[in-house]
Copies of this chain bind each other. A is one copy, B any other.
């Protein structure tokens, strides 16, 4: 299990060029930085930086590890920002209520962007309080004023609320990389036993309805599981193809763990919307600022 603090120190060393400078940057002494870096090197068995009497520079391996660390720490920062936004005790600024899909995959990076922007302007960042529930409850919370801003998924625009499309999600057919499909007609998809969520899940409904609209009836699933994560794991383990939200598997697609198979004649798009009450344009400064970071 990698040590995030040590990786952060490595990045500080890369930026500062000296151990002491890195120490000042992260608020530690030079000795502590030296020890942590030595510990990281001992864990990997590779020299990550060459120390001279006048500074320290990363080796080639050090650059690679720094790159890995950078990705990891960026994601960790997103998670941390998300965790901070979950704090409910603070009776503060912008109350955001979001559906699970948005909260899980999109909001953290928006919040980081929001905070970075405030830092760039020298302002104190808006404090965001996040609640995560299903879309119906989000609508309810925005209606009754217990949330200033909501994020929902689904095709219908709730009556009496203002809204704006902030992102699109689509369900995609995915297989393991060694699968022989490259592109299939929609009829073959309907005839294939899939790994799916249990009946009643939103993702599964969308697919069923779309196939029914196309005049097709689905065969029985190969496997029914109760969470998207479990479905994803089953596909990776070779249990069969699945239709999943693209947002949930961008990492896997980028890393080549999963492969997307286009289905001719089928499009399963759904819109993710920001919703709020009141005037047509987003009301308070806070809401507008957050939305200004989100481009559909």
Across-interface contacts of A83 in B (CB, < 8 A): 2, 43-44, 65, 68
Check A100–B45 contact: CB distance below 8 A.
no
**Interface with B: A31-39, A70-78, A199-207, which one?**
A70-78
**Cβ contact of A44, chosen from B86, B167, B256, B295, cutoff 8 A:** B86
Check B68–A255 contact: CB distance below 8 A.
no
Across-interface contacts of A234 in B (CB, < 8 A): none
**Interface with B: A103-111, A139-147, A148-156, A189-197, which one?**
A103-111
Answer whether A87 and B132 are a contact pair too, CB < 8 Å, given A251-B74, A257-B113.
no
Residue of B nearest to A70 (CB): B229
Q: How many copies does the complex hold?
A: 2
Check B103–A64 contact: CB distance below 8 A.
yes
Interface string of A16-57 (1 = CB under 8 A from B): 000000000000000000000000000111100000000000
A69-115 CB contacts (< 8 Å) to partner B: 69-72, 74-76, 78-80, 82-84, 86-90, 100, 103-106, 108-110, 113
A280 at the interface (CB under 8 A from B): no
Check A237–B120 contact: CB distance below 8 A.
yes
Answer whether A71 and B75 are a contact pair too, CB < 8 Å, given A257-B113, A294-B256, A295-B177.
yes
Across-interface contacts of A4 in B (CB, < 8 A): 1-2, 4
**Cβ contact of A256, chosen from B61, B74, B167, cutoff 8 A:** B167
Interface string of A121-132 (1 = CB under 8 A from B): 000000000011
Across-interface contacts of A44 in B (CB, < 8 A): 83-84, 86-87
Across-interface contacts of A105 in B (CB, < 8 A): 67
A213 at the interface (CB under 8 A from B): no
**Cβ contact of A259, chosen from B134, B237, B257, B295, cutoff 8 A:** B295
Excluding A7-B79, A61-B132, 8 further A-B contacts by CB distance (< 8 Å) are A44-B86, A45-B86, A45-B88, A64-B104, A67-B100, A74-B251, A78-B255, A109-B255
3 closest Cβ contacts across the A-B interface? A109-B255, A45-B87, A67-B104
